[in-house]
A and B are shown apart, each in its own frame.
Chain A
């Protein structure tokens, strides 16, 4: 059964357009020109219960606008959406008790107080049973390794610690749907991995339905099997994450380690050299030429180690989006 159903959903904004310079500022006092920005253009998708779906796209693609629509923060220009059977922008309390929205750089905790004060307020707002609250709080603080920090004022926590507290606050009421907007933005690698590991574990345990936006492809690869790619307000791909590299990238990478200390001078005749740190080299080659090139390399050189890898998702996405932009 689809938990999130979106059909023909569109959101248009009217945006003030101002030319540079003080004359334009003065004339703007009397007459203003407006542009209609079509942030989301009649998108449609369905997400089943327990799915964890990546919602990808460059800045301004319409990802966050879609999440805002699904969380009921804004009203659509046209189209329909239901989450758990509710129309989000009707903002019924019954709906708001069953989902959570986490925005990476927005703080829902009380800045000057320890996080536990915010948690207690959440317990009352979401009407959580005291025993269940304590059980979940213990579990979440344990999993996210912040048990010792709940009594420390939020302003004194690091960004990574704060983000983990935000996640706890968002999960205390056991939401069935979790909308995550850039949950690891600005975090260091260690914190990113902790958040990723936690989300993977908790989602599989609770069978939450999760829609995740992130610019960090490591997050996406670690957490999601399905990806929806949106660009300029339109959905460009909806399917397995693994298909993205196949679909949007015609090249693969060969990683070589030569037996000596040198890299052959003519190595570039086998493919585009991406990186070389003797005796290692990374080549980019057309996907269909892999067997031929590998055979030639192994035949001609003494190679200690070899590996063929898909192009990183990040690169495939970057190529896809830059190709789209240059096509226009």
Chain B
């Protein structure tokens, strides 16, 4: 293994160990994250209830069953793309000076943050797998079944894109703290906006043109909508390829923005906090 790979592996391993320290808090936080899906299932039940939840009535092409399936699949996408504490953690480290340790050591800050986050996600999936499987089993009648192999691979790639886009957007917001120090309002606005623009609130194909078209050009759809839409068979093979290529392009753009922000941020960094 090369030196660089050994460093990544060591960060990953150490971060996993760190994540396992507070067992009770971690288990509780993991389980609580399933509560919103329960409220969403009931909410959509109430909306479709005019003629009964199993009625074939459609809203914008989605039956009640489709909406339950969509909500579940969005939850999976968000499990990959949400990055709790990443932006605020970077901003706090910049503000109080803890970021110094990354700047004086021969280590890349973004690389470190990335593998640290991968570790958090791996531990989360390991703990959340069974609850996820149980919820999907309970709602099995609403799901469309397994897609063909191409779509399944496309879905897996879309989950990786969800992780990368989510990570890069939130790390970029954190790096803005080099200029503004305090980014909590920005995080709040981002959470509100991304809840809508990612398709977490409503499927993005419900939005009419030209707004829907414009929103679908943004990177946010990769946080939740695209993975769900792939499993709900909303794309053909050609559309799938276009969506994934566009997602990859966004990853490259966001990575470049992160690199520029980090390089310029360090130049104006005052190393406050002692």
Residues of A near any B CB (own CB < 8 A): 13, 64, 68, 71-75, 91, 93, 96-97, 99-101, 103, 105-108, 110, 112-113, 117-118, 120-121, 124-127, 153, 181
Contact = CB atoms under 8 A, between A and B. Distances in A.
B interface, over-half SS: helix
In the complex, which range does the number of interface residues on chain B fall in? Answer: 20 to 34
Interface stretch (B58-66, B97-105, B154-162): B97-105
A68 B99 CA distance: 13
14 contacts: A72-B104, A73-B100, A73-B103, A73-B104, A73-B271, A99-B104, A101-B104, A106-B97, A106-B98, A106-B101, A106-B274, A124-B3, A124-B7, A125-B105
A64 B121 CA distance: 38
Contacts of A153: 21
A91 B14 contact: no
Residue among A106, A124, A181 with the most chain B CB within 10 A? A124
B106 A96 contact: yes
A106 B105 CA distance: 14
Interface in B1-34: 3, 6-7, 9-11, 14, 17-18, 21-22
Contacts of A106: 97-98, 100-101, 273-274
Interface in B65-100: 97-98, 100
Closest 6 A-B residue pairs measured CB to CB? A93-B106, A124-B10, A108-B101, A96-B106, A112-B21, A73-B271
Contacts of B266: 91
Contact of B104 (A96, A110, A113, A124): A96
A179 to B, nearest CB: 9
Contacts of B17: 113, 117
Interface string B244-274: 0000000000000000000000110111011
B16 to A, nearest CB: 11
Contact of A74 (B6, B11, B269): B269
Contacts of A101: 100, 104
B106 A110 contact: no
A103 B6 contact: no
B44 to A, nearest CB: 40
